[in-house]
Amino acid sequence: MHVMSSASPAQPDQPHASAMAPRGMDDLPSDWFLRMLVKLADHVGLSLWITLAVDGLHVTGEMISAGRYAAEFKEQFLSGIESLDESMQESASDLLARASFALDPKAIHDEARRQAGDAAVPLVEPDYIHLRSARVVHSPEIGLDIRGGALWRFRLANVAGFSLGKQTNELRTV
């Protein structure tokens, strides 16, 4: 039996949007199109303002690469432990340098390509999106705000939706 669309009895059902995704791109529990944008950030340095819907909240910020996130996180973390002795700071710096490499898909891919020689090395699908200057967008009644924003890392599978651009709480009068 052929199922017809309720919107137009003469037209067969249109394919689901996920059927339009490039082969293999819709096999993961996150939005394939958002993953593609994250790959562009991670591998070619795309940086843009984006607003995410995550667990009922809207979070707005500048999407940055995982490598940029790791570098800025390391810098912020180390500036917060300046009071520790020098050997502790050095240990923390070394540990964060190794973690920064592990977080950076471009660095991992470049190293895999170097080791593989001429063999093709596929890009790894991202699991996280990284934001700089991120803040929660809310109604004034909630009273939650991160002034100036923060570095935030979200699991892509937890993002329910997104829009390009910076969302604000400012009311505009015409």
Least confident of 20-34, 37-51, 60-74: 20-34
Least confident of 16-20, 89-93, 133-137, 145-149: 16-20
Under the banding of pLDDT at 50, 70 and 90, the label for residue 26 is: low
Contact at 8 Å (CB) between 32 and 23?
Answer: no
Contact at 8 Å (CB) between 124 and 109?
Answer: yes
How far is CA 165 from each of CA 8, 27, 61, 63, 141, rounded to the nearest angstrom?
Answer: 35, 27, 8, 10, 23
Least confident of 12-16, 104-108, 138-142: 12-16
Mean pLDDT of the chain: 79
> CA end-to-end span of the chain, whole Å?
55
